[in-house]
Structure 1
Amino acid sequence: MSVVETVLARVPGPLRSLLLKHRELLKFAVVGSTTFLVDNGIWYLLKFTVLMDKPTTAKAIAILVATIVSYVLNREWSFRTRGGRETGHEATLFFVISGVAVAVNLVPLLISRYVLHLQRPEVSLFVQETADFVSGSVIGMLLAMGFRFWGFRKWVFPDELGGIRRDNLTARH
């Protein structure tokens, strides 16, 4: 029995059916949580070491690394029954959507830093770091996540190609 089946067996019936109905979204959220940790771990590592004066550059690098992790996890788990395109075409679409999402993610941080001037010396280090986290890792991430989920389902892993991918998966296993 898989981990998911074990967890679902302990969930009350009505909630279980709701979770099953929205399993792609749930899996996407688990992948998002994982890449959130990757993103923020790399961002803070870079931001407090080699890119101290370039927080948006550090965030962009962190997002790019997290996006690569996201592609692998989403392709192989969240949307494994969708898609059907050649891997190169699928990956190109994924990274185009993700590239737009990087811009969406960075907008709140850019506004926080350079429009609202929530950076040192205008504010304390605590206020700067809190504003960076809220704008870059909460607001930006939520906006980008919504855009990615919509874009991945619509263009990268469309359901109308799902039969092709399902047949390929069945043939391989």
Structure 2
Amino acid sequence: MKHRQGRSPLQLLIHELGKFGLVGGVCYAIDFLVSNLCHTLLGMGPLSAKTISTVIAATFSYIGNRQWSFNHRARTGLRREYTLFFILNVVGLVIALGCLGFARYVLDLRGVLAFNLFGNVLGTGLGTVFRFWAYKKWVFLHPDDPKAAPRADLPTELPARVPEHAGRI
């Protein structure tokens, strides 16, 4: 079954995962660097450092995902999208903080390695899986979803092959 973008559901999923992964990689680097800067250099507690880094990375993530990863999906309004995006990122943050808090306060692992392993690898990884699923389901809707507003700026058919210059940063 082909979608109106001329791609099968599997091709569309792979396309979205690739873009989501690139945006996520940049945002992961931001999250990792800011959390370590706050925790190790500024002496902030691990949960505070992770919260600040996640808020900064999530802001970049929203812009990248809205403008690039899911730009072919329907728009339902900035207020609705950003509110849901914010709520879902809070859930993702709770997942990361849960992993980090468990390591710190239950297992009593206090080193930088434990901070990064539980907060920046395991917690962020689990939160990312949740966010990808949730963004597709609630934030960046399929154009056929009843809540999706038609977008006049999108063609009804997307090219089967993306031009060479498309998506370059």
Q: Over residues 122-146 of structure 1, what are the superposed CA-to-partner deviations in whole Å (9 max), with x where a residue is unaligned?
A: xxxxxx1111111011110111001
Cα shift readout 1:72-105 (whole Å, capped 9, x = no counterpart): 0000000001131011111111111111111111
User: In 1, distance between residues paired with 2:11 and 2:96?
Assistant: 27
Question: Retained in 1: the 8 A contact 2:76–2:149?
Answer: no
- Runs (5+) with no aligned partner, structure 2: 1-9, 156-169
Distance 1:20 1:129, change over 3 A: same
1:23, 1:113 → 2: CA distance?
A: 37
Structure 1 unpaired stretches of 5+: 1-17, 120-127
Paired residue for 1:63? 54
1:129 maps to 2:121: no
Identify the residue that residue 124 of structure 1 maps to in structure 2. none
- 1:145 pairs, out of 121, 128, 134, with 128
Name the Cα RMSD after superposition.
2.0
User: 1:12: which partner in 2?
Assistant: none
What is the Cα deviation at residue 55 of structure 1? 1.4
Share of identical aligned residues, percent?
A: 36
CA distance in 1, matches of 2:97, 2:21: 20
Consecutive aligned runs of 4 or more in structure 1 exceeding 4 Å deviation: 18-21
1:47 is the counterpart of 2:30: no
Offset of residue 156 of structure 1: 0.1
Contact 1:83 1:164 (8 Å CA) reproduced: yes
CA separation of 1:37 and 1:57: change in aligned 2, threshold 3 A: same
Of Structure 1 and Structure 2, the greater helix share is in 1
Contact 2:16 2:70 in 1 (8 A): yes
- Which of 10, 21, 43 is the equivalent residue of 1:29? 21
Question: How far is the alpha carbon of 1:20 from its aligned partner?
Answer: 6.5
Q: CA separation in 1, counterparts of 2:48 and 2:13? A: 39
Q: Which residue of 2 aligns with 1:93?
A: 84
Q: Is the 8 A contact 1:35 1:69 kept in 2?
A: yes
State the TM-score, normalized to the length of structure 2: 0.78
Structure 2 Cα separation of the partners of residues 72 and 59 of structure 1: 20
> How far apart are the structure 2 equivalents of 1:53 and 1:87?
33
Give the aligned length.
144
Q: Give the corresponding residue for 2:153.
A: 168
TM-score for the superposition, normalised by structure 1:
0.77
